[in-house]
Amino acid sequence: MLLEMDVQKVRRGFRLEMDCRLEVTTVGLFGPSGSGKTTLLHLLVGLERPDRGRIVLDSVTLCDTDRRIFVPPHKRRVGLVFQDARLFPHLSVRGNLKFARHLAPRRSRNLSLDTVAEILELGHLLDRRTPSLSGGERQRVALARTLLSAPRLLLLDEPASALDAGREAQLLPFLKRIGQELDLPMMLVSHRLGQIRYLTDTLLLIEAGRLQARGEFSTLIDRPDVVRLIQGHELSNMLRLRVVEHQAGEGLTAFEFAHRGGKIPSYGRTPSLKGPLHRCPAGEEMVATVRPEDVIVSLAPVEYVSARNQLRGQIKKIIRTDSRTLCCVDVGMDLLADVTHVSAAELELYPGKPIWCLFKTHAMRYPWATVGAGGAGDRSDGTYRAYKTYSEHQGRSERSDHCSWAQS
């Protein structure tokens, strides 16, 4: 899906200027609070008018100030899920979902209410009134309501910001599966980099109303100005892993990298890792995180230390800022290690140099629930089965069949 934006919006003490052309699959819009992320979404969905400019989605002009074109929100075929669910309190969950489905054009109603309820595990909530729902339940209903409006582009404005860690751990995997299984382009807005990178590595970085950088995270991290922008915002390594076995007696789970098109290092076999015990079944894939500051670099493997994970690698690049030196090391995947300028100089670190990366098993975190994970309990398995059943009987939805509805 091609999105073209060249817009300007001015309000008291703030100016948003966005000029870009991008293919949207799943894209993350990241920036500090007050940078203009939500304003941009409101322009895309039609809740605000630009002072100047145009927005074109797949050759359809949504607004053009020069030509006096402005498509109203309910005709834009763009769905928006807000930070707060904004459900109709006088309706049941079922009533909220039926309202959204009624707004979708008949030819685009590819998802039934029962299918969406099964995908997002809402069946037992359909007859409940929305004020009685938990925060996580409300967000899932809001998401289901938007899906039933048949959007061809889904915008998510800080969807997990009002949730505690446990409910966030359940919501984000739902979003990931929706993008994958329904082939639905999404743009996620968040001031938390970890949430975005769980869903996608394609980023738009915005600051003070202007687009500062765009592209894949692995490429953007080369730039000191980008490192400055994301510094202090959950700059974590995302380890995409496959469970090998559980060592319950030791309280550990053994993993290998899930490469997905990546390459095994030329200097050895697929690396293995150990992390805290996890309930994800053997053979399943999951995401773990390790902070760069928890990674120790060494010129050789180290004996008589508690760090169980020692990965051989080669430095790909060095990123220096005023306060830190980041080493990007190829260990079978890119791994960032945060070292001081003094240590980098003493170890004579440079691109191409062989290196070892060490970190403790308990430096690994599992912030998001996965299929069969303890964080989401049996409900993750149920969601996975629902998606599998839907895919087998319905097939992948055509993106051109989606239309949309903006929640209000």
Q: What is the DSSP letter of 397?
A: P
pLDDT confidence tier of residue 108, bands split at 50, 70 and 90: low
Q: Which two tokens stand for residue 337?
A: 């290690």
Mean pLDDT, rounded, for 134-160: 84
| Model pLDDT, residue 206 | 93
- Burial label, 30 (beta-carbon count in 10 A; 0-12, 13-18, 19+): buried
Mean pLDDT, rounded, for 117-140: 83
| Model pLDDT, residue 164 | 67
Q: At what angle do helices 135-148 and 93-103 cross, to 10 degrees?
A: 20
Task: Kindly tell me if the per-residue pLDDT of 355 is higher than 90.
Answer: yes
Mean pLDDT, rounded, for 81-94: 81
Q: What is the mean pLDDT of the chain?
A: 81
pLDDT confidence tier of residue 390, bands split at 50, 70 and 90: very low
Closest CA to 212 of 193, 225, 195, 198: 225
Q: Distance (Å, rounded) from C-alpha 238 to C-alpha 244?
A: 18
| Model pLDDT, residue 378 | 34
Q: How would you label 281-301 residue by residue, b for 16+ Cβ within 10 Å and e otherwise?
A: eeebebbbbbbbebbbbeeee
Residue 65 in 3-state DSSP? Answer: coil
Task: Kindly tell me if the per-residue pLDDT of 371 is higher than 70.
Answer: no
pLDDT digits over 224-254, tens only?
888 888 876 668 899 989 999 999 888 999 9
pLDDT confidence tier of residue 91, bands split at 50, 70 and 90: confident
pLDDT digits over 312-341, tens only?
999 999 988 888 899 999 998 899 999 999
In sequence order, the 6+-apart residues with CB closer than 8 A to the CB of 374 are: 278, 279
Task: Kindly tell me if the per-residue pLDDT of 262 is higher than 70.
Answer: no
| Model pLDDT, residue 228 | 80
Per DSSP, the chain holds a count of helices (H) and strands (E) of 10, 20
Could you please report the per-residue DSSP string of 145-197? HHHHT--SEEEEESTTTTS-HHHHHHHHHHHHHHHHHS---EEEEES-HHHHH
All domains of the chain in start order, with CATH: 2-234 (3.40.50.300), 237-363 (2.40.50.100)
Task: Kindly tell me if the per-residue pLDDT of 261 is higher than 50.
Answer: no
Mean pLDDT, rounded, for 207-216: 92
pLDDT digits over 20-52, tens only?
999 888 999 998 888 999 999 999 999 999 999
| Model pLDDT, residue 121 | 79
| Model pLDDT, residue 397 | 33
Torsion angles phi and psi, residue 258, rounded to 5? -95, 100
In sequence order, the 6+-apart residues with CB closer than 8 A to the CB of 154 are: 79, 81, 146, 147, 178, 184, 185, 186, 187, 404
Mean pLDDT, rounded, for 157-185: 76
Q: Is the pTM of this model over 0.85?
A: no
| Model pLDDT, residue 263 | 52
Q: Distance (Å, rounded) from C-alpha 293 to C-alpha 329?
A: 14
| Model pLDDT, residue 52 | 96
